[in-house]
Chain A
Amino acid sequence: MTQEQRSGRPDEDRSRLSRIDAPLRAPFLLLFGSAALWLMLSSALSLLTTLKALPAGIGSYEWFAHGRLEAAARNAFVYGWAGNALFAINLWLLAQLGRFEIRNGWMASVGGLFWNLALTWCTGSVIVSGPGAYALLDFPVGAGPVLAASFALAGLWPVVAYAKRPTGHNFAAQWFVVGASVTFLLAFLLAQAAVFWAPASGVVQAVAHSWYVRTVHLLWLGGSALGLGYYFVSKVLARPLHAYYLASVAFWTYFLFAGWTAPASLIGSPVPLWIQSIGVVGSMMLLVPVLLIGLNLLGALSRDGGWFRAWNSTSLRFISIGIVSLLASLAIAAWASDRSVNAGLRFTSFAEGQNLLLLYAGVTFCVFGAAYAALPRVSGGRWPSAAAIHVHFWASTLGAAGAAFAAFAHPSAHGFISAVSAALLLIGHLAFASTAFAALLSGVPAGESQPAHD
């Protein structure tokens, strides 16, 4: 990469970028705006679940039973926040990487609209009539097809953007995001079929459910977050990833083994031994992609003051924390799948801590980081306040650390520390969402967008 190769290109990129970004504006506004609203709802509900006693006025209503609030918060977080945000961010990312000028972007908006309507229905029904037996599948049966159809409209755009890329070149971020998007739809349809439409026998239902949950966590959410990691680490540091030629092995082994880790959550339950053992083996084999991804991303970050530069870039600061947490949670999962270790952890809040590390400190931090880069580009606005960004970063980081401490290390202080952490997270999310709305709405409408300037 010589100097003259690099100069000259940015201008060409600029004019193309605004043509790519402008038509993304409407769907991005709708999807990311809803994501921010769901994030606030979910963190408010989580705060309620950490309080040992609700205020007398509302504590007596069954709508506010702990199980219902917890299930509603989980659905709002996974499908509402992470789902909507990834629709927007994944579409944006693959449009950038594939030079894709979206046409018929209204389809993404319609899909997002129905996704959110169905989700509102689901969340309402969890609160009003109680959650079902299967976490993350506790919807009214009729909502399944609506969610699947709206995902097909809103969530498969990365595949289109990848298929229509003008050059034969491709990059690891594209594989992860395309894989994540396709896998979710398949897993969702299969899980709906195995659990609801044509219910399999009891044990198979439990296995199918655990597989679905793990696929959503590791492949849809985790895979998308890894895609963001591959993109932003290389882009912000302006250097190729370390040992990049191993990235394709990392990708295939990750997608191959992640699904097989599911039965590790069933160790010790009345599921045939060989299925449990496959979960153990899957969790250990997942260490191969964990190592390779660590080599690619953390290797690049560890050279020439990369961590320092990551800290000084808002996007990469969030994303490098996210990648480290995500990889750490997978390594811990491999350790915890050992049968004798698992026997001691099975009925503790350990799994809660694992989910927090994976879904919050991992995936959500990556989405935050990507949002700080993507929102201004798509909306044409600016982040209005540096102070709000600092509040968001520190409140989220300390809140996540406190919640992880409560779940992993200190069950006796659980109540108090959890409540304080949940309050911190809510503060951070309010700071994030309010500035995100300001950034989304402050920009120029798509019709008047002028070529980007710097």
Chain B
Amino acid sequence: MNDRNRHYDRNRPRQGSPGPEGFSDGRLVEVHSQIARDKQEPAQGFSMTPILVVFLFCALGFWAGLYLTRNSRGFSASAFDLNAPVAFASAGPVVFEPDAAKGQTLYLANCAACHQPTGAGVPGAFPPLVKSLWVAGDEKRIIKIIIAGMAGEVEIDGVKYNGNMPNVGVALKDAQIAHIATYVRSAWGNAAEPVMDASVAAVRKEIGARGQYSPKEVLDAHPLGN
């Protein structure tokens, strides 16, 4: 720079560069105008850059078209949720399929605040779901706890948890609970069967409106390990 404020710059290059002056403003504009007109830097060979840029631009544009068509539900003004089932006039009843990916989204929104996104829980307060016998085995156990909640002391791997889980599931649909349970039962080293929405509906009907479970009540009905 040809500025007077350069005196504080330490170690500024004293030689080798095209003069310590830098570009003057007039020169700067002139040189670049020339390049823009000639489309090629002086003394430069054939360049692949513009071709690659055009290729990238086309590829991104192609992807953008596909993405918009697939994720816009026909540009309907009343479609808000990508995961909502699409109603087709002739498709008949919608068949439920447990989906761990949907379950993960729901888990992050409804459960992860306490049980953590990693399922590791918080010692003393929120029990872990990682490789948990409570999660695996009989699916009724996890469904009951999600719907009605559970309060009281639990001991897992020698650590005591005195938690107070609210009845989160009351506000969720059968299908949503089934997705969550399917996700939890398949993530973090758990390997239990997926859960269907019909099972959730059956449990919900069976237990009716009730308060939180105590750990003993759950274990008496569904002992760990099965």
A residues near B (Cβ < 8 Å) are 1, 5-6, 9-10, 12-13, 17, 96-97, 99, 167-172, 231, 234-241, 243-249, 270-274, 276-278, 280-281, 284-285, 287-288, 291-292, 295, 309, 312-315, 339-340, 343-344, 372-373, 375-377, 382-383, 386, 389, 452-454
Q: Across the interface, which residues of A come within 8 angstroms of B71, CB to CB?
A: 273, 276-277, 280, 339
Q: Across the interface, which residues of B come within 8 angstroms of A237, CB to CB?
A: 17, 22
Distance in Å from the Cβ of B193 to the closest Cβ of chain A?
25
Closest A-B pairs by Cβ, 9 of them:
A274-B72, A386-B8, A169-B33, A376-B5, A281-B64, A277-B71, A274-B75, A245-B39, A244-B35
Q: Does B23 contact A (CB under 8 A)?
A: yes
Can you name 8 extra interface pairs (CB under 8 A) apart from A281-B64, A454-B4?
A10-B24, A169-B29, A238-B19, A270-B80, A271-B80, A274-B68, A285-B64, A314-B8
Complexed CA–CA distance, A281 and B41 (Å): 33
Q: Does B110 contact A (CB under 8 A)?
A: no
B residues near A (Cβ < 8 Å) are 1-13, 17-19, 21-33, 35-36, 38-41, 47, 49-50, 53, 56-57, 60-61, 63-64, 67-68, 71-73, 75-82, 101, 105, 108, 117
Distance in Å from the Cβ of B81 to the closest Cβ of chain A?
8
Distance in Å from the Cβ of B28 to the closest Cβ of chain A?
6
- A245:B79 contact, CB within 8 angstroms: no
- B9:A9 contact, CB within 8 angstroms: no
Complexed CA–CA distance, A244 and B33 (Å): 9
Contact of A238 among B8, B17, B60, B67 (CB under 8 A): B17
Q: Across the interface, which residues of A come within 8 angstroms of B40, CB to CB?
A: 245
- A241:B32 contact, CB within 8 angstroms: yes
Q: Whose C-beta in chain B lies nearest to the C-beta of A234? A: B28
- B4:A281 contact, CB within 8 angstroms: no
Contact of B23 among A235, A272, A344, A377 (CB under 8 A): A235
Complexed CA–CA distance, A236 and B12 (Å): 11
- A273:B9 contact, CB within 8 angstroms: no
- B25:A96 contact, CB within 8 angstroms: yes
Distance in Å from the Cβ of B68 to the closest Cβ of chain A?
5
Distance in Å from the Cβ of B62 to the closest Cβ of chain A?
11
Q: Across the interface, which residues of A come within 8 angstroms of B9, CB to CB?
A: 312-314
Contact of A312 among B10, B50, B64 (CB under 8 A): B10
Q: Whose C-beta in chain A lies nearest to the C-beta of B113? A: A347
A-B contact pairs, 8 of them (CB 8 A): A171-B33, A238-B17, A244-B35, A246-B49, A273-B80, A292-B53, A313-B9, A314-B9
- B72:A6 contact, CB within 8 angstroms: no
Contact of B67 among A239, A271, A280, A375 (CB under 8 A): A280
- A171:B80 contact, CB within 8 angstroms: no
Q: Across the interface, which residues of A come within 8 angstroms of B76, CB to CB?
A: 272-274
Q: Across the interface, which residues of A come within 8 angstroms of B72, CB to CB?
A: 273-274, 277
- B17:A309 contact, CB within 8 angstroms: yes
Q: Whose C-beta in chain B lies nearest to the C-beta of A203? A: B77
Q: Across the interface, which residues of A come within 8 angstroms of B25, CB to CB?
A: 13, 17, 96-97, 99, 235
- A240:B18 contact, CB within 8 angstroms: no
Q: Across the interface, which residues of B come within 8 angstroms of A5, CB to CB?
A: 27
Complexed CA–CA distance, A10 and B19 (Å): 12
Distance in Å from the Cβ of B78 to the closest Cβ of chain A?
7
Distance in Å from the Cβ of A225 to the closest Cβ of chain B?
18
Contact of A97 among B29, B68, B80 (CB under 8 A): B29
Q: Across the interface, which residues of B come within 8 angstroms of A99, CB to CB?
A: 25-26
Distance in Å from the Cβ of B8 to the closest Cβ of chain A?
4
Distance in Å from the Cβ of A391 to the closest Cβ of chain B?
13
Q: Across the interface, which residues of A come within 8 angstroms of B23, CB to CB?
A: 234-235, 238
Q: Whose C-beta in chain B lies nearest to the C-beta of A316? A: B1
Q: Whose C-beta in chain B lies nearest to the C-beta of A281? A: B64
- A1/B56 contact (C-beta < 8 A), A270-B80, A312-B12, A376-B3 known: no
Distance in Å from the Cβ of B165 to the closest Cβ of chain A?
21
- B1:A10 contact, CB within 8 angstroms: no
- B1:A376 contact, CB within 8 angstroms: no
- A277/B19 contact (C-beta < 8 A), A343-B105, A344-B117 known: no
- A9/B8 contact (C-beta < 8 A), A172-B32, A278-B68 known: no
